[in-house]
Structure 1
Amino acid sequence: MPVTNTGNETISNVTSATSNGALTCYDNTLTASESTLCTGPFTPAADTTTAPVTVTGTTANGEQASTTGTAYLAPAGPAPVPPGSGSDSGCSCHLTMGTPTVNGTNAGSPHDAVPVTADQPATMTVPVTNTGTSTVSNVSSTTPNGALTCDDSTLAAKESTKCTGTITPAANTTAAPVTITGTTANGEQASTTGTAYLAPAGPAPVPAPAPVPAPVPAPGTGDPHGGSGNPPGTHPGSPSGGSTGGTGGTAGHQTGGSVHGTTGTAAGYPVGSDHGGLTSSAVGSAHEAGAHSGSVEAATHGSTGEHVDAGYPVPAGAVEAGGGGTADDHQGIDGGIVGGGLAVLVIALLLVTAVSARRRHLR
């Protein structure tokens, strides 16, 4: 109700009252021409059509100033049956909810709050009984976090059932309210409410990260003939041949190991004792796979003194030591191996001739 000080003096202690309830004024001191509002609830009795209001205050000399007014009402009928009372005129119909459980544990009070996990489903069960004297049908149950299904949707007087379902509480949820409703014999609603209490719902657990597989080492890049490289070579195999050279060859190629690497190193085999003692020369620019397979090539050098398969001059009729290979085996040699072999042979013949001559001289 609005109220204004229409006098020329200040009014203090402004209050308002009605026969059906008190009102509270926003400002209890009003200067001349100042206004305020007084508001508040009131409860009219049946068939009430008016609500008189009185506003009072105190003048500067201590006297009372007041005013009255009336709020007009339509005839007040009987109070409606509040939802959840479970009763209506001519029917004693009452639904009563028992203690709810969450995941099988009593959750009927804050002291019994059941721990749950946020955004993860939990099972709620609520017992309900028709405590009235008439049948209640269409019994159902709902919660803000999920619906419940009742085992029996029609309850005779004193009959009970239970309603069960899944709820999914949000983070920090501490309560799950439940409402159970039914229909009375004359079509009005009977209902009851309750609450299942939850321990604060924490966040869902974070899944453990998947294990990371160990990296696979890259293939080795060491000596392709199985040397001591780190990592080891990818083409194991022993260097060409034995330690004494081949049999019957002038240049002294050895018979060869049983396995060669897939590809030899360019111009890479020192000739040393393994190749007839010629340390200054190297086998050709490449050893093809299987060039020294462990058997004697048995190539015969012709009478012309030409190396049949590689084009290097050797004594006529000589057999090359094991696995002499093809011309590719001797690329870039410039006759070093064969020429060196001839030089060794000539020196050997001269030594033999000198020894023989000395023996004859001694005789």
Structure 2
Amino acid sequence: MNVDALLVLSFGGPEGLDEVRPFLENVVRGRNVPPERLDEVEAHYKPFGGVSPINARNRELIEAIRARTDLPVYFGNRNWHPMVEDTVAEMTRDGVRRALVFATSAYGGYSACRQYNEDIARGRAAVGEEAPELVKLRHFYDHPAFIGANADAVRAARSSFPADVRDGARVVFTAHSIPVAADETDGVPAEGNHRYSRQVAEAARLVAAELGLDDYDLVWQSRSGPPRVPWLTPEPEPTVEALAKAGVPAVVMAPIGFVSDHVEVVWDLDEELRELAEGLGLGFARAATAGPDPRFADMVVELIAEHTCGVAPRGLGDVPKAGCTVDGAPCAVDCCGAESL
């Protein structure tokens, strides 16, 4: 396939206190999230001056990709500037006719995958007939580079503990929770449901296997819906409390569900969960996300090469992947149901 550019498409994040509320309103539009929940989340941004780390991390990733490829690399977001509509318009003005799209999520599911396809369609529709063809790259939850980067991040976090604590430290993988009903529709019938949770669990298993761990935990953090709606569990807090009660000396939180730091990582884990763990007498360390690891940019270039140079796709897991593979069709239109609250 001949391509003219790469679009790095991400979630977006505010970069000032005055941007936080409109950003959050974009995130939850149409999802019936109560205003008091937005008030609570908005407060999480204040210690950081209203700045989410995600845009800076994405700009760093883009520079790393540019150092590895001759393709022009563009940046667009779903929820905040630079918005995908503006970026697709810029690409059109620059004469881009066909581009690959790297979405900064490793997994399937509505918010993690299908909504990025909707973002692409919205960006093209805003431009009209002159918009370039945009082809979203596949899931990469089990790519060896992604698994290796996460495994080394856990090793580094464990090494921060004193020697007498290190061996007993419990690894707890964490990913963003979603409504159970949404997870149950994450997959076409031939592949089975629960694609998001199954892929996350498989990524955690692969990282644990590389670390030689037979026992670990997987939790689901940062739920935002009303209490009446079931979300994926267990949540981090009761898991950490149970580990403390069982006499575990320390925990390593490994954010396997995130490719980059943002507020759900630097507040929910680094602040709130750390405070809980240390209050229970547990040592606490948080593993780095995979995005800043040089292997992550290498992986993006390899995903591009699957389309441009016929490089064979690599993967370690058994849970089906989707997206625009070299030999397959794009995701089915109704593959992953919306996360209705």
TM-score computed with the length of structure 1 as normaliser: 0.16
More helix by share: 2
Larger Rg: 1
Larger RCO (CA within 8 A; separation ≥ 6): 2
TM-score computed with the length of structure 2 as normaliser: 0.17
